[in-house]
Amino acid sequence: MNNSEAEKTALQMKKLKEDMLPKKFSLSGKIWVGVLSLIFVTGLYYYFFRQLREGLIITSMRDYVSWGIYISNFVFFVAISLVGSLISAILKLSNAHWQTPLTRIAEVIAVAGITFAGIIIIVDMGRPERFWHLFVYGRIQSPIIWDVIVITTYLVVSMLLLYIPMIPDIAICRDATPAENKWLKKFYTFLAIGWQGTKEQYKIIENSVKILAVVVIPLAFSIHTVTSWLFATTARPGWDSTNLGAYFISGAFVVGAASVICAMYILREHYKLEKYITLKHFDYMGRLLVLLLLLYLYFNINEYFVPGFKMKKVDADHLNELLTGSYAPLFWSVQIIGMIIPLIVMLFNSGRKPLVMFVLGVMVVVGAWFKRFLIVIPTMMHPYLPMQDVPVEYTHYFPTWPEWSITAASLAGVLLVITFFVRYFPIIPIWETAKEHGIHPEEIK
């Protein structure tokens, strides 16, 4: 290799690092963090100073609607976390290659989502201080225990899938951090676990990521299937369905892909990453989302059409309320705005441009949140026995202000985790991008 080529490589590396090394928060970044922190702290207040003291009475949940937005939010978080496996495992194993700059975005959404899924489920417990009972008295026959097992496993595997491919980049951060920034340097040095960039080390990373990618797919399917079983194992209208596992998984990939699209757009605009997150990426993600939406549409038709055709008494009460009754405005908004419109718009080339995709992505994500609400709550409003002999507030459900606040705090928490991750780690894999630019691994510094 001659000198000019080496110089060229060094110059290329410098440019890559300039573009992709984590940057301090700008003013808008600080405002963003400030607002999120405010929401988060408000939720913490309501949880620790109201709910823990007074009990779940501060929510709108009562004996009929005994699971409310905490649980629907939990389902949402589990759903959104599935995208980690979609981008960094399914696409990787199918040799798609184009998804390289998106893997870390997807994986950090997965880790943040699944972490807060675990947190929000503890928030929903009437006796959170007895959480340890799950480990000493756990009954393996209960779907909740299955969920505890698969979710913790998925969390660990997702964290490894986030961390291991990031080690070379952490080493780059370590080397780029000036010595006077003592704590940050220590932090990176610790996390880089002595990375030298040797051939053997790269080999280890590649092999472990391959194994993890294979492992994470059945795990991802498990977490959401088991989550759907929390509902499907009961004899209630709307939940008592063999379609529920597949329905949940297809919906999860939809909301996960849409959330990656939103994150792609924001990061690209904010950090000027147009060179790395290109129009091609939006185009491909758009096509992928269309495919996922079609799949989801298919399971939606199965979920509502089949019981709707038969109209068994208890299903009929539930479906009438959902499709034509008091939940109808929300139901049709979610189905049309969150599924049908994005599906149609993204069929067109001009529908897969970044800004359009961002708007559609937000529509899908918001729709998906309310869709979980529609899966959990209306069913609880349709018990077999009539709702009698209870106070009137037991017969309807609208979340209270503290309940909204705590739920909003969990959403803000997910965004804060992602935001701080982007602040301290390169969100686009530097070394993998460099490799794709034809730079030899040992020259990536």
List interacting residues with another protein (CB under 8 A): 54-57, 59, 61-64, 66-67, 124-127, 130-131, 133-134, 137-139, 141-145, 148, 230-231, 233-236, 380, 383-391, 394
Minimum CB separation of residue 79 from another protein in Å reads: 19
Nearest Cα to 341, choosing from 299, 301, 290, 302? Answer: 290
Q: Cα-Cα-Cα-Cα dihedral of 160, 165, 171, 176, to 10°? A: -120
Q: Cα-Cα-Cα-Cα dihedral of 345, 348, 349, 353, to 10°? A: 0
Minimum CB separation of residue 136 from another protein in Å reads: 8
Nearest Cα to 219, choosing from 138, 268, 266, 158? Answer: 158
> How far is the C-alpha of 312 from the C-alpha of 309, rounded, in Å?
9
Nearest Cα to 84, choosing from 115, 110, 114, 102? Answer: 110
> How far is the C-alpha of 241 from the C-alpha of 140, rounded, in Å?
23
Q: Which is nearer to another protein, 178 or 386 (CB)?
A: 386
Q: Give the number of other CB atoms < 10 A from CB of residue 328.
A: 13
Minimum CB separation of residue 60 from another protein in Å reads: 10
Minimum CB separation of residue 64 from another protein in Å reads: 7
Q: Give the number of other CB atoms < 10 A from CB of residue 354.
A: 20
Q: Which is nearer to another protein, 239 or 253 (CB)?
A: 239
Q: Which is nearer to another protein, 150 or 289 (CB)?
A: 150
Minimum CB separation of residue 441 from another protein in Å reads: 47
Q: Which is nearer to another protein, 125 or 176 (CB)?
A: 125
Q: Which is nearer to another protein, 119 or 341 (CB)?
A: 119
Residue 194 one-letter amino acid: G
Minimum CB separation of residue 316 from another protein in Å reads: 14
CA 167, 173, 176: angle at the middle one, nearest 5? 145
- Contact between 132 and 114 (Cβ < 8 Å): no
The one-character DSSP state at 401 is H
Minimum CB separation of residue 128 from another protein in Å reads: 8
Q: Which is nearer to another protein, 137 or 183 (CB)?
A: 137
